[in-house]
Amino acid sequence: MGASVQQSGGGGQRRGRGGRRRGKHQAVSEINVTPFVDVMLVLLIIFMVSAPLLTVGVPVNLPETAAEALPVENEEPLTVTLTAEGAIMIQTTETPSAELLPKLRAIATERASDKIFLRADGAIPYAQVMQVMGALNAGGFRNIGLVTDTGGPRLPEDDG
């Protein structure tokens, strides 16, 4: 990426229209972009491979909807997961339902955002999901996003 030195082949001959005499060595002021492109392609591959690994690793069978994904924020999102067995997980740590509200209040005091994502297995009853949502709200998280898989069934279009 630095300037290189190029030797002129003619020694002390005059060149160009101006008749100026140049030295034996002349600096080349062109930037070599090949290393830059190589580094960018390697970084692109690294990010493409590592991005899917950054999701929360609790396996659940999410219901599918036609909703669009939420925009990404600066702070790592907090995720609460309800598994098919009824276990409640904060990120990847299992939490008993009796300890959920105190833990959420403690986490809410340390976070700048009140956004939280709720992942619930499709087999979980709706009432249990709403109980956890109530606990999230009481714990200080007012901005609750329900996580689903995309590509699910859509409502029929209104022809009127």
CA atoms of 141 and 133, how far apart (whole Å): 9
Provide the whole-model pTM.
Answer: 0.52
What digits encode the pLDDT tens for the residues 42-93?
A: 999 998 888 777 765 667 777 777 777 666 656 677 889 998 888 899 888 8
Amino acid 62: pLDDT: 73
- The C-alpha angle with vertex 72 and arms to 117 and 66, in degrees rounded to 5, equals 65
Confidence of residue 154 (pLDDT cuts 50, 70, 90): confident
Contacts of 83 (CB under 8 A, 6+ apart): 58, 59, 60, 89, 121
Domains in the chain (CATH in brackets) are 4-51 (no CATH), 57-150 (3.30.420.270)
Contact 60, 83 (CB under 8 A): yes
CA atoms of 154 and 152, how far apart (whole Å): 7
Residue 30's SS3 state is coil
Amino acid 42: pLDDT: 94
Amino acid 44: pLDDT: 93
